[in-house]
Protein backbone atom coordinates (compact mmCIF):
# COMPACT_ATOMS: atom_id res chain seq x y z
CA UNK A 1 0.00 0.00 0.00
CA UNK A 2 1.38 3.39 -0.94
CA UNK A 3 1.80 6.04 1.68
CA UNK A 4 0.21 9.36 0.95
CA UNK A 5 1.67 12.36 2.77
CA UNK A 6 -0.55 15.29 3.31
CA UNK A 7 0.91 18.68 2.50
CA UNK A 8 0.84 19.69 6.19
CA UNK A 9 2.88 16.61 7.19
CA UNK A 10 5.39 17.31 4.46
CA UNK A 11 5.60 20.97 5.49
CA UNK A 12 6.19 19.95 9.12
CA UNK A 13 8.95 17.55 8.08
CA UNK A 14 10.69 20.17 5.95
CA UNK A 15 10.32 22.71 8.75
CA UNK A 16 11.85 20.24 11.21
CA UNK A 17 14.87 19.61 8.96
CA UNK A 18 15.38 23.34 8.38
CA UNK A 19 15.28 23.99 12.13
CA UNK A 20 17.73 21.16 12.78
CA UNK A 21 20.06 22.53 10.09
CA UNK A 22 19.96 26.04 11.62
CA UNK A 23 20.73 24.69 15.11
CA UNK A 24 23.70 22.72 13.78
CA UNK A 25 25.02 25.80 11.94
CA UNK A 26 24.65 27.90 15.11
CA UNK A 27 26.55 25.37 17.22
CA UNK A 28 29.31 25.08 14.64
CA UNK A 29 29.72 28.86 14.41
CA UNK A 30 30.01 29.12 18.20
CA UNK A 31 32.67 26.41 18.25
CA UNK A 32 34.61 28.20 15.51
CA UNK A 33 34.64 31.50 17.42
CA UNK A 34 35.83 29.73 20.58
CA UNK A 35 38.65 28.10 18.62
CA UNK A 36 39.66 31.48 17.20
CA UNK A 37 39.71 33.05 20.68
CA UNK A 38 41.72 30.14 22.09
CA UNK A 39 44.24 30.43 19.25
CA UNK A 40 44.61 34.16 19.96
CA UNK A 41 45.30 33.49 23.65
CA UNK A 42 47.79 30.72 22.87
CA UNK A 43 49.56 32.95 20.33
CA UNK A 44 49.77 35.78 22.86
CA UNK A 45 51.24 33.49 25.54
CA UNK A 46 53.72 32.00 23.06
CA UNK A 47 54.79 35.49 21.98
CA UNK A 48 55.20 36.48 25.60
CA UNK A 49 57.39 33.45 26.33
CA UNK A 50 59.44 33.70 23.16
CA UNK A 51 60.30 37.33 22.83
CA UNK A 52 60.13 39.19 26.08
CA UNK A 53 61.40 39.17 29.59
CA UNK A 54 58.94 39.66 32.43
CA UNK A 55 58.46 43.24 33.56
CA UNK A 56 58.39 44.35 37.16
CA UNK A 57 54.96 44.78 38.71
CA UNK A 58 55.60 48.52 38.94
CA UNK A 59 56.65 49.94 35.56
CA UNK A 60 57.84 53.46 34.74
CA UNK A 61 57.03 54.60 31.21
CA UNK A 62 60.07 55.59 29.14
CA UNK A 63 60.45 58.05 26.27
CA UNK A 64 58.69 56.89 23.08
CA UNK A 65 56.64 54.13 24.71
CA UNK A 66 52.90 53.68 24.32
CA UNK A 67 50.51 51.48 26.24
CA UNK A 68 50.43 49.20 23.23
CA UNK A 69 54.21 48.73 23.13
CA UNK A 70 54.35 48.25 26.91
CA UNK A 71 51.51 45.73 26.68
CA UNK A 72 53.40 43.71 24.07
CA UNK A 73 56.70 43.99 25.90
CA UNK A 74 55.34 42.99 29.31
CA UNK A 75 52.55 40.62 28.26
CA UNK A 76 49.73 42.61 29.90
CA UNK A 77 46.82 43.33 27.55
CA UNK A 78 44.75 44.87 30.37
CA UNK A 79 46.96 47.78 31.47
CA UNK A 80 44.15 50.36 31.33
CA UNK A 81 41.78 48.19 33.38
CA UNK A 82 44.44 47.65 36.08
CA UNK A 83 45.39 51.34 36.27
CA UNK A 84 42.34 53.51 37.01
CA UNK A 85 44.54 56.63 37.15
CA UNK A 86 44.97 56.40 33.35
CA UNK A 87 41.98 58.34 32.05
CA UNK A 88 43.12 58.59 28.43
CA UNK A 89 45.16 55.69 26.98
CA UNK A 90 46.65 58.10 24.41
CA UNK A 91 47.95 60.43 27.14
CA UNK A 92 50.96 58.39 28.31
CA UNK A 93 54.13 60.25 29.16
CA UNK A 94 57.65 59.39 30.36
CA UNK A 95 57.75 58.91 34.12
CA UNK A 96 54.15 57.68 34.40
CA UNK A 97 54.02 54.80 36.89
CA UNK A 98 51.76 51.87 35.97
CA UNK A 99 50.95 48.48 37.45
CA UNK A 100 51.78 45.46 35.28
CA UNK A 101 50.09 42.09 35.69
CA UNK A 102 51.48 39.79 32.99
CA UNK A 103 48.91 37.75 31.07
CA UNK A 104 50.71 34.53 32.05
CA UNK A 105 49.93 35.22 35.73
CA UNK A 106 46.20 35.50 34.96
CA UNK A 107 45.84 31.95 33.61
What's the rounded Cα separation, in Å, for the pair 67 and 63? 12
Q: Which of the pair, 106 or 25, is modelled with greater confidence?
A: 25
Q: Which residues contact 5 (CB under 8 A, 6 or more apart)?
A: 13
pLDDT at 79 over 50: yes
Predicted structure pTM score: 0.48
Judge contact between 71 and 77, C-beta under 8 A. Answer: yes
Q: Which of the pair, 20 or 107, is modelled with greater confidence?
A: 20
Amino acid sequence: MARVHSSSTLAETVSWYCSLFLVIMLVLSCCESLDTENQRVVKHVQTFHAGSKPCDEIYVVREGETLHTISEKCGDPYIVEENPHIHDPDDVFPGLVIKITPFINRL
